[in-house]
Structure 1
Amino acid sequence: MQQTFFPMILDKDAKLPIYLTSAGCEFHQDSIDRRYGFSSYHWIQCYEGKGEVTIGNDSIILEKDMGMIIYKDEPHHYRPLSETWLTDWITFDGFAVKQLLNSLGFYKSNYYYIKDIDLIRQKIINCIETGDSYNNHNQLSVMSYDFIMSLPDYIIHKSSPFQLSKMAIVIEYINENYFNTLTIDTLASLIDVTPQYLCRIFIESTKKRPFEYINGVRIQKSKELMLNTSLSISKIGKQVGFEDASYYGKWFKRIEKVTPGAFRKHYKG
């Protein structure tokens, strides 16, 4: 059932670090052309059907289990591509919103695949019901903060289903073979792509270069060995895949901010 909520916002409410400006569920979305953008930050997700969303020169098809963050004042327009296009949405503003979004990795308008759309829409429904009952901006501010903070838990970084399935193969292989010599060519051959393409989708999916991820896994495994065995640090480094002890120490300090010896001493004395 379609639900919408548009709270009355007074000057004191607009001074909150985050405040809710509108919300809707199962909304029958029509064509909208916002050539000057919208006055709030916007999360919109597709619940049924599909539509086209255009921001600048980029257009994407927003269909079920996909959502978008649209930045404040970003010109955009969207239109339904199916007879029925149902969307859920929530908008918020405040002096802390951009900083909070940036801290979570949302630096610009972007689309995402959603792991469980019902969990997100329930948060939107909760905001609507709270607003309808009390119109309590302090409570809605807390709920808006919770909504933004929880987004990374419910979405998958913007990648195609093809990329996600292929990356799962590569990640599993790394986790099972981190102690061996690994090359970009080997990893690319696992999913029949070029090394250049592998590096691109790896960064898109993990925010790390392949060898950053590989060495990160090796460091985590070496920490387990340091605490659970009496092996020397140099032998541990070799056992997890580092041929050179100084290179192992360099990577350990880069990730853990302490040397391997200091780490072991801190936990084992």
Structure 2
Amino acid sequence: MEQIVRRKDWVVEDHLRRFMFVLGENDLPLFVESIGFNPLQESVSRRKGYPCFHWLQTLEGEGEFELSGSRFFLPQGNGALLFPGVPHAYAPKGKKWSTLYVTFGGSLAESLLASLGIRHTEWLHWNDDAPITAQLMDMIEQTQHDEDRTGLNASAQLYRFLTMIKIYGQTGGRSSLFQHLEKLDPLLQWLDQIYGDPEIGLTDMAERLGISPRYLNALFRQAFGITAYAYLIRLRIRKAKELMSHSDRRSIKEIAQLSGYRDPSHFISAFGKTEGMTPEQFRKLQGLTT
């Protein structure tokens, strides 16, 4: 089992640069958890996925990915953005594979990616003149010389990096798996608008795409590592967190209703299972008084 140690760390053997950050009680709405350069990328297997969003790109050589039972290659000028909890494994293809990576999270991370049109695990490539690699290397270099152990500066640069992925990243010529995942895009956009309707269920989502509920769940497990209805719950909780982060004070009952729950007690229960705390505790962590 992998253990995440949230601290700033630089390992100099073989010029490996790996930085992890101390995160305070009040995590930023968008934060960098770790960032680094690995000149000799080792094999990694995560049956339960990674707990944060994970961007991994090839700097030199080539890697081989296993994702949802399919194999993919990650040559130079290619990167993968993995969503939390998606099972995967990767290993060098050949003698040497050098990588750059950044892992990140926060209450607004998924919303930001959705606003950029990234709603599920993506596989991107870019032209040689695209600034994606240079931007990430600049972030790593600055982190190396930065005295800030909370990752504030790296997190501030993360937004720019993600927008560069959107601007310069290309998805053409992708594999059949990712072509299948594209089928989810119309549904995900619809759910962003209709999540507050408590009547929405698995059957409605499947009918929206004209596929069976079983196939819909298979697509969601490939993209997110969870079922379609579990995604809807996660979306509702994320929207509720956004509402609670606003300065205007809304009651828990009102937030529950806006998020798709008829009964506030069901909302509080779902929030606790997802976030490990009550809505009021979340508010206090955001510095909002009751």
Structure 2 counterpart of 1:149: 163
Tell me the equivalent position of 1:7: 20
Match of 1:37 in 2: 49
Distance 2:113 2:33 in 1: 17
**Which SS does the other structure have where 2:20 is aligned?**
coil
Aligned CA distance change for structure 1 residues 66 and 35 (closer, same or farther; 3 Å): same
Counterpart CA distance in 1 for 2:50 and 2:24 is 19
Distance in structure 2 (CA, Å) of the matches to 1:93 and 1:157: 23
Residue of structure 2 in register with 1:219 after alignment: none
**1:12-56: CA deviation from partner (whole Å, max 9, x where unpaired):** 4x5201111111225311110011111211111112211211121
Partner of 1:48: 60
From 67, 78, 99, the counterpart of 2:90:
78
Q: Which amino acid aligns with 2:24?
A: D
SS at match of 1:142: helix
Task: Say which SS state the counterpart of residue 46 (structure 1) adopts.
Answer: strand
Q: 2:72 aligns with which of 54, 60, 70?
A: 60
Alignment of 1:1-269 (within 5 A): 2-12=15-25, 15-116=27-128, 119-132=131-144, 133-135=146-148, 137-159=151-173
Q: What's the CA shift for 1:118?
A: 6.6
State the 4+ residue runs in structure 1 displaced beyond 3 angstroms.
none
> Judging changes above 3 Å, is the alpha-carbon distance between structure 1 residues 38 and 51 closer, same or farther for their aligned structure 2 residues?
same
Structure number having the greater helix percentage: 1
| CA gap 1:95/1:52 in 2 versus in 1, 3 angstroms | same
TM-score (norm 2): 0.51
Instruction: State the identity %.
Output: 26
CA contact (8 A) 1:44 1:90 kept: yes
Alpha-carbon deviation of 1:134? 2.3
Contact 2:62–2:76 (CA under 8 A) maintained in structure 1: yes
The separation in 2 between residues aligned to 1:49 and 1:3, in whole angstroms, is: 16
Distance, in Å, in 1 between the alignment partners of 2:129 and 2:48 is 29
Q: Structure 1-normalised TM-score?
A: 0.55
Give a deviation string over 1:124-147, Cα, whole Å, max 9, x none.
222223323222533222101111
Task: Give 3-state SS (helix, strand or coil) of 2:131's partner.
Answer: helix
Three-state SS of the structure 2 residue aligned to 1:156 is: coil
Answer yes or no: is the 8 Å Cα contact 1:18–1:93 preserved in 2. Answer: yes
Q: How many Å apart are 1:88 and its aligned residue? A: 1.2
After superposition, the C-alpha distances for 1:227-263 in whole angstroms (9 at most, x for unaligned) are xxxxxxxxxxxxxxxxxxxxxxxxxxxxxxxxxxxxx
Distance 2:18 2:73 in 1: 26
Say if 1:37 and 1:73, in contact at 8 Å, map to a contact too.
yes
Change in Cα spacing, 1:33 to 1:74, as seen in structure 2 (3 Å) is same
CA offsets, 1:200-234, max 9 Å, x none?
x9xx8xx99xxxxxxxxxxxxxxxxxxxxxxxxxx
Q: Secondary structure in 2 aligned to 1:28? A: coil
Q: Give the direction of change, closer, same or farther, for the CA distance of 1:8–1:21 in structure 2 (3 Å limit).
A: same
